[in-house]
Chain A
Amino acid sequence: MSTTYLLRGVAPQGGDRTDVRVEDGVVVAVGADASADGATVVDGDGLVLLPGLVDLHTHLREPGREDAETVASGTRAAAAGGFTAVHAMANTSPTQDTAGVVEQVWRLGRDAGWVDVRPVGAVTVGLAGERLAELQAMARSAAAVRVFSDDGKCVHDPVLMRRALEYVKAFDGVIAQHAQEPRLTEGAQMHEGVVSAELGLAGWPAVAEEAIIARDVLLAEHVGSRLHVCHLSTAGSVEIIRWAKARGIAVTAEVTPHHLLLTDDLVRGYDPRYKVNPPLRTAEDVEAVRAGLEDGTIDVVATDHAPHTREDKDCEWAAAAFGMTGLETALPVVQATMVDTGRLTWADVARVLSATPARIGRVPGQGRPIAVGEPANLTLVDPAARRTVVPERQATASVNSPFAGTELPGAVVATFLRGRATVLDGALVDAPAGVRA
């Protein structure tokens, strides 16, 4: 199987057309030097070449909920979506709160071979929010954990949050906070506002997110730590992050594709595919997160890919699980909302979906420039394609996509993980796992 490719006539980060030669896992030539000798030629006419995408926020569900997703199925979905690295969130069963569990997930990822799996370590034991997990052990493990999060739950105790922010400085870690004041969101089912009032669903107020973010940026400033804010969703949160950055606080923030596109109006049909945490917000919030992503207040787009079994969604709203799949629709949604609207260039897309998330997660060899000598983690995109989302045809094991039936622009034509094609001609390249390791 060839590991030498010539990507002919591609536009790196949307720039001028050129040829890129990939050999032995590395970009060996760009431009006139790039020969086709002994290489598989990929016709890249009209295609955009991006550094392989890096997701800071993925739920792979293994161990524990292999009925919804496994490391193998989730990382296949990631490759199909153009990703070469994902951060696997800690809310597994058992929880990723020990070196043993994060190493298990890391090994499952390595053996599957679709993307680099970077396990996220739990901040607190069992995500219980009571005492710190052994963060240093996870950092020093083979999984080399750098991102710690109780995602799904908020580290709401201010002392515990302070300690966590301080403690991870010893190994260049970062706390990724799921900002949700628990008392203000007891029983919450959707965004609190006009729609929740009408539907009689308990509200998840914007202030429950904003109050935690405001507190956390001040804590991060006080102890001189970096802080990452997961999936911010409200106009007020964008304002707080903007203020914190102007003040010089080391905070980064992410937004999900669904919060860039969907609003709480969709809940009117009580379809649990639209049930997610944080909830879909208003059109004003959607505009604010787009503006925040455009002006750099928001650093990255992260999927919060959250697969769920059919039985967890095929029910009344209140009984349904929170979350939606997103790995295979992230890039199309970003193109639809940010690129096709002229708000981001493809170079910006490379920044928010690859370079910056790799930097925040301290992921070696990912999110690098497309240049000679760099690892060949690459994604080739056809921006002119248009596809209707059919969850049953996706690689993820679950079908809870909020974009089912929606036509979105852009398609991943090829994905290369260290020079090896995981996607080629728009299709996953299945090969024995041993080849991948």
Chain B
Amino acid sequence: MRHLLSAGDLTRDEAVLVLDTAAQMAATQGREIKKLPTLRGRTVVNLFFEDSTRTRISFETAAKRLSADVINFSAKGSSVSKGESLKDTALTLQAMGADAVVVRHPASGAPHTLAHAGWTHGAVVNAGDGTHQHPTQALLDAFTLRRHLVGDGGRADATGRDLAGAHVAIVGDVLHSRVARSNVQLLHTLGARVTLVAPPTLVPVGAHAWTADVSYDLDETLATGPDAVMMLRVQRERMSSAGGGFFPSPLEYTRAYGLDGRRLAVLPDHAVVMHPGPMNRGLEISADAADSPRAVIVEQVANGVAVRMAVLYLLLAAGEPRTAPAAGSGRDEARTGVRTDETRVHA
């Protein structure tokens, strides 16, 4: 892994390696001293062209817990909005010696351009680009799913395991969702089955080629007993004609595609409810659903830090530019690395 640009770039083994590494990172986070010295002396830049306090803080926390120096570079609202500025910003960061650039950008493909235009030599981590990808979100979702659905609901070791056989329903504004695109790819790579549920206006033309089924009927999908339901954020402004007129009213949307107490009751006992946040309570998810014991939404946030620690660790500390690790060896390498760090923390 040289960069993390798209969930689709990860092989099954690479994805499992990230999840396994994240599990080790998470284990260290239960300790009193959470900080590992792994990335001491390395610089991680959070380059955000779009507001997202949640994602930025998650990456910042992850980098700091690995002892990296963190620079937050918020380019939103300044004159920085167009082309050349992405280049100039990248050149500036390169001059500062950024080892990794975590980039959030409203334009699909901007992290790809940053990684491939020769403007920076650091590892590029896509923290969400337009309506394209948000790979660390998909990884933290997979991590959360594996904890709950694999290894006897968390009682047995899930190391090395994928999500084979799981069925995940992803519900909402698929058209504009980088979370959906990333999850469709990663869940497929990990062996899970995905059903996308949305009004037809919010399913992209061309989605028939995706590794997912498409349903326009949430109740029908819930009746099939999915193992997890992932609700996507829906922006209220999408209903106005200026916003595209994708649905007639929030009420109609909620009636057809909102997750409420009644729909929650249909789910199998083991099923979990997820949401990438921030939630629109009362629109795509009711308070009953969001606050129910099945909801693992807060846990997703905590897992986000562990997964991002794993990604930064694998990109920056686990050896030079690497391809898919040979089965087993890469995993061992990662585990060894982390244990060494733990030892140092406690020394």
Contact = CB atoms under 8 A, between A and B. Distances in A.
Interface string A184-220: 0000010011111111111101000000000000000
A196 B86 CA distance: 22
Contact of B181 (A189, A195, A198, A317): A198
A319 interface: yes
A315 interface: yes
B205 A192 contact: yes
A311 B84 contact: yes
B189 to A, nearest CB: 14
A134 interface: no
Given A199-B108, A200-B108, A318 B130 contact: yes
B206 interface: yes
B210 A314 contact: no
Nearest to B85: A315
B108 A315 contact: no
B133 A317 contact: no
Kindly name the residue among B105, B116, B205 whose own CB sees the greatest number of chain A CB atoms within 10 A: B205
B113 interface: yes
A311 B88 CA distance: 11
A196 B83 contact: no
A434 interface: no
Nearest to A321: B83
Nearest to A318: B107
B84 A193 contact: no
Contacts of B210: 197-198
A312 interface: yes
A197 B83 contact: no
Contacts of B82: 315, 319
B108 A201 contact: yes
Contacts of A203: 204-206
Contact of A193 (B107, B110, B181, B206): B206
Given A270-B113, A316-B113, A319-B83, A196 B204 contact: yes
Interface residues of A, number: 25
Given A193-B206, A199-B109, A312 B83 contact: yes
B207 A197 contact: yes
Interface string A313-342: 011111110000000000000000000000
A196 B107 contact: no
B326 interface: no
A269 interface: yes
Given A200-B133, A200-B181, A316 B110 contact: yes
Given A314-B83, A317-B109, A269 B132 contact: no
Given A197-B209, A311-B84, A317 B117 contact: no
A316 B112 CA distance: 9
Nearest to B119: A314
Kindly name the residue among A192, A202, A318 whose own CB sees the greatest number of chain B CB atoms within 10 A: A318
B70 to A, nearest CB: 24
Interface in B74-97: 82-84, 86-87
A269 B130 contact: no
29 contacts: A193-B205, A193-B206, A194-B206, A196-B206, A197-B204, A197-B205, A198-B8, A199-B108, A200-B109, A200-B129, A200-B181, A201-B108, A201-B109, A203-B204, A203-B205, A270-B108, A270-B109, A270-B112, A314-B84, A315-B82, A315-B83, A315-B86, A315-B113, A316-B105, A316-B107, A316-B113, A317-B108, A318-B109, A320-B83
